[in-house]
Structure 1
Amino acid sequence: MQTPLFDDIDYRILRCLLQDAKQSFKKIGQQVHLTGQAVGARVRRLEDLGVIRGYTVNWDPDKLGLPVHAFIVVFVNSNSAHSAFLAYIAGSEPVQEAHRVSGEGCYWLRVRLAASTDLNVLLDELLAFGNYKVSLSIGQVK
Structure 2
Amino acid sequence: MNETIDATDLRILQILIQDAKRSNKEIGEEVHLTGQAVGARVRKLQDMGVIEGYTVKWNPERIGLGLQAFVTVFLNSGDKHPAFRAFVAAREDIVEVHRVSGEGCYLMQVQTGSTEQLGELLEALLPLGNYRVNLSIGVEKSRK
Q: Among all aligned residue pairs of Structure 1 and Structure 2, give the percentage whose two residues are the same amino acid.
A: 55
Q: Provide Cα deviations, 1:1-32, integer angstroms capped at 9, x if missing partner.
A: xx862111111111101101111011111111
Superposed, which structure 2 residues align to 1:41-120 within 5 Å? 41-120=40-119
Q: Letter of the aligned partner of 1:21 in structure 2?
A: A
Partner of 2:78, secondary structure, is coil
Alignment match, 2:37: 38
Q: Provide Cα deviations, 1:27-67, integer angstroms capped at 9, x if missing partner.
A: 11111111111111111111111111111000000000001
Q: Letter of the aligned partner of 1:23 in structure 2?
A: R
**Count of residue pairs brought into register by the alignment:** 140
> Structure 1: 5+ residue runs without aligned partners?
none
TM-score by length of 1: 0.94
Higher mean C-alpha deviation, range 115-124 or range 42-51? 42-51
CA RMSD of superposed structures (Å): 1.2
Q: Distance between the aligned counterparts of 1:107 and 1:10, measured in 2? A: 36
Q: Distance between the aligned counterparts of 2:129 and 2:39, measured in 1? A: 47
Q: Distance between the aligned counterparts of 1:54 and 1:128, measured in 2? A: 35
Over 3 Å counting, the alpha-carbon distance change for 1:117 and 1:132 in structure 2 is same
Alignment match, 1:24: 23
Over 3 Å counting, the alpha-carbon distance change for 1:4 and 1:41 in structure 2 is closer
Q: Letter of the aligned partner of 1:80 in structure 2?
A: D
Q: Distance between the aligned counterparts of 2:15 and 2:26, measured in 1? A: 9
Q: Distance between the aligned counterparts of 2:129 and 2:74, measured in 1? A: 6
Q: Distance between the aligned counterparts of 2:132 and 2:112, measured in 1? A: 17
Q: Provide Cα deviations, 1:85-106, integer angstroms capped at 9, x if missing partner.
A: 1111112100111111111211
4+ long deviations beyond 6 Å: none
Q: Distance between the aligned counterparts of 2:63 and 2:43, measured in 1? A: 33
Q: Distance between the aligned counterparts of 1:75 and 1:11, measured in 2? A: 40
Higher mean C-alpha deviation, range 30-39 or range 57-66? 30-39
TM-score by length of 2: 0.92
Alignment match, 1:139: 138
